[in-house]
Amino acid sequence: MSDILSYPFMQRALVAAVLVGVVCSVVGTYVVLRKMAFIGAGISHSAFGGVALGYLLGLDPIGVAIPFCLATAMAIGWVSRRGRVSEDTAIGIAFASTMALGALFIGLKEGYNVDLFGYLFGSILAVSASDLWLILGLGLGVVLVVALLFKELLFVSFDEEMAAVSGLPVRALYFLLLALMALTVVVSIKIVGIILVEALLVIPAAAAHQLTRSFGRMMGLSVVIGVVSGVAGLLFSYWWDLPSGATVVLTAAVIFSVCFALSPKRRRRPALSRG
C-alpha cells in the first residue's frame, strides 16, 4: 500500500478519486430523487464534444469541456422546459449530436494521437497537477453551492410545484442543478471517463436510497459509498492495469447489488385508492 502512495501520479489520482466520489454522490442524490439519470447521461456524453474541440483547437480539453457541458445542460433544460419537445427527446438529440461533433472534431484534427481511451473510460495516469487544482476548485465549489442552497434544492426535488407556490425561484434552481451536474461531469472525466461518469451520478445515491428513508442519511451514505468506490476502484485499476473508470463503476455496482439485496425497505406504499 505504501509503495502505491509513493507515486505522485497515484497521490493525485487518489485525491481526485475521493473528490469525485464526494461530488458525484452529493449531486447524484438529487439526480436519483428527481429521476434525472438520463439528463445526466446526456450531459456527460456531451463532454466528448468539448474534449475533442479542445484537442482540435490545441486548448486544454477539460477547460473546453466546461463551457461545452454547461451549454449542453442549459440547452437540454431550456428545450424541455419549453414543453414543445419532450425532455427525453431533447436529451436523445443532444446526446448523439454532441458525440457526433466530438467524432467530427477528432476526424478534423490531422494525425491525432490522443489518448481517447483514457478520456472515455478514465485513467489513473491522467490526473496532472493542474488538473488536480481544477478538480479541487470545481468540486469544492459544487459542494459549497449545495450546502448554501440545501433547503431550496430539497424542496424543489420533493415538490417543485409547491416550491413555486411558496415563492422559490424554481426555474433558476432547476438550471442551477443542471449546471451542477455539468460541473460534476467535468470534475469526474479524468478518473471515471466520459462514458462512465453518469453511472457514478446514479449508483452511489441509488445504493444509499436502498438503505435509508432519511434525506440527510441518504446523502451521507451516498458519499461514503462514492468515496469507497472511487478509492477501491483506483486500487483495482492499479493492481490489474485496467481503466480506472471501469473498476470504479463496477465497484459501485457491486456495492449497489449488496445494498439492494440487504435493503430493509419493503417499500410498503400506502394504497392510493383514487376514483
55 or 155: CB nearest other proteins:
155
C-beta of 94: minimal distance to other proteins in Å? Answer: 24
Q: Are 18 and 72 in contact (CB under 8 A)?
A: no
Query: With respect to other proteins, which residue has the nearer C-beta, 96 or 162?
Result: 162
**Is residue 37 within 8 Å of residue 201, measured between CB atoms?**
yes
With beta carbons less than 8 A apart as the criterion, state whether 52 and 105 touch: yes
Cβ proximity to other proteins, 60 vs 160, nearer residue = 160
Q: CA 226 to CA 231: how far, in whole Å?
A: 9
Kindly state the smallest distance separating residue 121's Cβ from other proteins, in Å: 32
Q: Which residue's CB is nearer to other proteins, number 196 or number 218? A: 218
- Comparing CB distances to other proteins, the nearer of 71 and 168 is 168
Reduced to 3 states (helix: H, G, I; strand: E, B; else coil), residue 86 is coil
Q: Which residues bind other proteins (CB under 8 A)?
A: 33, 148-152, 154-155, 157-159, 161-169, 209, 212-215, 217-218, 267, 269-275
CB nearer to other proteins: pick between 82 and 269:
269
Using DSSP, state whether 173 is helix, strand or coil. helix
- The answer to whether the CB of 168 falls within 8 A of the CB of 97 is no
CB of 115: closest distance to other proteins in angstroms?
40
**Taking a C-beta distance cutoff of 8 angstroms, is the pair 27, 207 a contact?**
no
Q: Could you tell me the smallest distance in angstroms from the CB atom of residue 168 to other proteins?
A: 7
* Contact present, 249 and 192 (Cβ < 8 Å): yes
- The cell numbers describing 152, all together, are 431550496
Q: In the bound complex, what is the minimum distance in angstroms from residue 30's beta carbon to other proteins? A: 12
* CB 209 to other proteins: min, Å: 7
DSSP H/E element including 260:
helix 244-262
Cα–Cα distance, 70 to 180 (Å, whole number): 9
